[in-house]
């Protein structure tokens, strides 16, 4: 039985939101379109997409926002334009930046900019990490929260210091805000407060929001207009963006309203994990509704345990498994969404106990 079949048979699922198969999702989209009398946009021109772009811009405190078919396209374009405006093609990024880890050297091979790794890969940025760079930077890209280190955040004071540093040095400050809605609960601040002082912000329409895909790039009206033109040049000018917009817009308010509940559930999960000290949690105190679990078994065994729990108990603990630095250890990510929010406490604790028992079995 393959992974998707195993997952479909599970009744207790830890990561993410409840998955809707295409027929259900498309039916929900069709019903929403019927209720709201939605028409297709044509190359980004239409009432729905333009009103949703305006809504995202307002929530982030910017003049304008524009849809982009992928965050990968949006981010390198924003950083290139920002760096060019400041007269330097050098961009500082955290070692765990999505651009380094997941984008196959696009910034380099496509000639967008020169990238410099700054800071310690195991901790969020400090202002001192940027102050230590002697070179003249054109742009800085900061992920909020930092997914590859368990959803950690720079402290609020450090974030303000980073903003001040970039402002004084005349550096374009860009936010990888794929999960910035999740950071609101951790900071206890609105998205607009978090984004204040940034020159541009990218947000995902499918990660925490649960849409089909797509992204938004927010900034000044002039900057967003230039970025939109580059998206067209780069092949992002799809004739109808409406499927992406509908899939996000129809659940957007509900998802944002649920973020504080997801964060509280993450806190509960971390507390429940204290009963199983062999499972190490990073960060020790959640800063967003996600975390990493460091397991005392290698990647192959961790995958086998996941599949055994699914087949024997209908429990799906996590999706991907990564190798860890030490041998015979591994790392998994859990994003806390609808699944864990709807799970009763006893089921959660019971699943963790079964998982811990599997980890302790001799192989």
Q: Domain limits of the chain?
A: 3-16+254-360, 41-239
Q: So what CATH class is 3-16+254-360?
A: alpha beta
Cβ within 8 Å of residue 315, ≥6 positions away: 10, 12, 13, 14, 309, 351, 354, 355
pLDDT confidence of residue 363: 58
Domains 3-16+254-360 and 41-239 share a fold: no
Rounded CA-CA distance 268/261 in Å is 11
Q: Which residues of the chain have pLDDT under 50?
A: none
Over residues 270-292, the pLDDT tens digits come to 999 999 999 999 999 999 999 99
pTM summary value: 0.96
Structure confidence at residue 1 (pLDDT):
77
Checking DSSP bridges between strand 290-295 and strand 330-335, what pairing results, if any? Answer: antiparallel
> What CATH number was assigned to the domain covering residues 41-239?
3.40.640.10
Strands 215-219, 200-204: parallel, antiparallel or unpaired by DSSP? antiparallel
């Amino acid at each position: 039985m393959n992974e998707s079949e195993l997952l479909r048979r599970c009744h207790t699922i830890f990561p993410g939101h409840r998955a809707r198969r295409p027929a259900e999702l498309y039916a929900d989209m069709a019903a929403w379109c019927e209720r709201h009398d939605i028409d297709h946009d044509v190359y980004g021109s239409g009432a729905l997409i333009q009103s949703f772009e305006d809504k995202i811009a307002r929530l982030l405190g910017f003049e304008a926002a524009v849809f982009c078919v992928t965050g990968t396209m949006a981010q390198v374009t924003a950083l290139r334009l920002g760096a060019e405006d400041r007269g330097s093609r050098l961009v500082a990024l955290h070692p765990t930046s999505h651009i380094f880890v997941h984008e196959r050297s696009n910034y380099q091979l496509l000639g967008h900019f020169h990238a410099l790794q700054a800071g310690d890969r195991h901790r969020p940025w400090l202002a001192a990490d940027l102050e230590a760079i002697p070179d003249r930077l054109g742009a800085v890209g900061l992920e909020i929260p930092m997914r590859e280190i368990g959803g950690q955040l720079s402290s609020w004071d450090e974030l303000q210091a980073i903003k001040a540093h970039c402002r004084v040095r005349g550096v374009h400050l860009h936010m990888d805000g794929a999960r910035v809605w999740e950071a609101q609960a951790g900071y206890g601040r609105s998205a607009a407060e978090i984004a204040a002082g940034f020159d541009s912000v990218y947000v995902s329409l499918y990660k925490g929001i649960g849409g089909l895909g797509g992204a938004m790039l927010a900034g000044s009206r002039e900057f967003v207009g230039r970025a939109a033109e580059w998206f067209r040049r780069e092949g992002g000018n799809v004739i109808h963006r409406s499927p992406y917009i509908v899939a996000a817009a129809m659940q957007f308010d509900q998802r944002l309203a649920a973020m504080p509940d997801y964060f509280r559930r993450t806190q509960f999960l971390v507390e429940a994990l204290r009963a199983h000290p062999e499972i190490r949690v990073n960060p020790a105190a959640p800063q967003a509704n996600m975390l990493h679990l460091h397991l005392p078994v290698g990647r192959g065994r961790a995958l086998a345990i996941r599949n055994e729990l699914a087949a024997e108990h209908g429990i799906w603990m996590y999706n991907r498994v990564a190798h860890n630095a030490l041998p015979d250890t591994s790392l998994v990510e859990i994003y806390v969404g609808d699944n864990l929010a709807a799970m009763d406490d006893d089921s959660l604790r019971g699943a963790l106990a079964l998982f811990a028992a599997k980890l302790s079995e001799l192989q």
